[in-house]
Structure 1
């Protein structure tokens, strides 16, 4: 499985993303509500690790600056390979700097960083649908458009094991 360093959202944002997932599930479209163990949290991942030393990762993340909550505007939807659809988040200089710092800290632990999260390759997104068919894409993009414009507020952060949904909250928001 994988370990992700994630931004988590305030209660309003969390509710909005979960409501979007529920609307899509009601239309027969799989979201993180029904993906794998079904205990996923709405989130934005700074980094995903495929192999890691838990102690080293926790220590590196604890040393990151914690400037606090961040607002993330959503501009539309993204379609990734294998039918994955996400909210398309704007990349402010603040968000990019935070993600780059996180990647540098995690790489210092010799963890195996998934290449999609490497500096210069990262596309900030919030997962909406998993494994959608081509016929479902118009339904998904219409559902996303219905909630735009949208600003996400990330006011918490955590390390999350994607295989178990185990979550280790961080003291601040890197």
Structure 2
């Protein structure tokens, strides 16, 4: 992922995820906290190779993106490529908000990756982008130690860490 619309978590949930990142790193498992050292715990609502932060902000104007949503992380998952994540329970409220955000972005001409579209999106909080195969079981065990985790969304931004973009929306 290069650019994303990220939902940011409350202070307690952020602290718990960062603690998990550090615990994994101490065991030799790379975490998202190490990648660019700019990431903060988040759940991405949308992603693409690039997202024009000004076009996205204009499309979402007047919408409190994610703010106040309660996210419950209850399970651990893995995407192809050894990406490890905490799974967010897909509530009706979260899915409706996701649909509305995508509707507004599409109307604003913001193109996004298909696998983040409504009906295909898997809500998650990324923990590691490349867990070494022999370390997957210990990494999953560490993740399970902090679950369940409930978080309140406190903010959102278009983030492109490689290009130094963090535009609040």
Alignment of 1:147-158 (within 5 A): 147-158=146-157
Tell me the TM-score normalised to structure 2 length.
0.91
Q: Report whether the alignment pairs 1:119 with 2:118.
A: yes
Residue 27 (1) aligns with residue 42 (2): no
Residue 70 of structure 1 and its aligned partner are, at CA, apart by 1.5
User: Which residue does the alignment assign to 2:46?
Assistant: 47
Instruction: Report the counterpart of residue 87 of structure 1 in structure 2.
Output: 86
Deviation at 1:14, TM superposition (A): 0.8
Larger displacement relative to structure 2 (92-101 or 160-169): 160-169
Distance 1:164 1:55, change over 3 A: closer
Gaps of 5+ in 2: none
**Residues 53 and 68 of structure 1: CA distance in aligned 2, closer, same or farther (over 3 Å):** closer
- Checking the alignment, whether the CA contact within 8 Å between 1:40 and 1:165 is kept in structure 2 is no
Per-residue deviation at 1:108? 1.6
Q: Which moved more, 1:129-138 or 1:87-96?
A: 129-138
Looking at structure 1, the residues matched to 99 and 62 of structure 2 have their Cα atoms a distance apart, in angstroms, of: 14
Distance 1:78 1:67, change over 3 A: closer
Distance 1:116 1:162, change over 3 A: farther
Q: Work out the CA distance in 1 between the residues paired with 2:5 and 2:65.
A: 13
Alpha carbons of structure 1 residues 146 and 61: separation in structure 2 relative to 1, 3 Å: same
Q: Is it true that 1:7 corresponds to 2:1 in the alignment?
A: no
What corresponds to 1:139 in structure 2?
138
* Aligned alpha-carbon RMSD (Å): 1.7
Cα distance in structure 2, aligned partners of 1:54 and 1:149: 33
Which stretches in structure 1 are left out of the alignment for 5+ residues?
none
* CA contact 1:9–1:155 (8 Å) conserved in 2: yes
Residues 116-158 of structure 1 deviation map (CA, whole Å, 9 limit, x = unaligned): 1011000000011111122111111100111112112212111
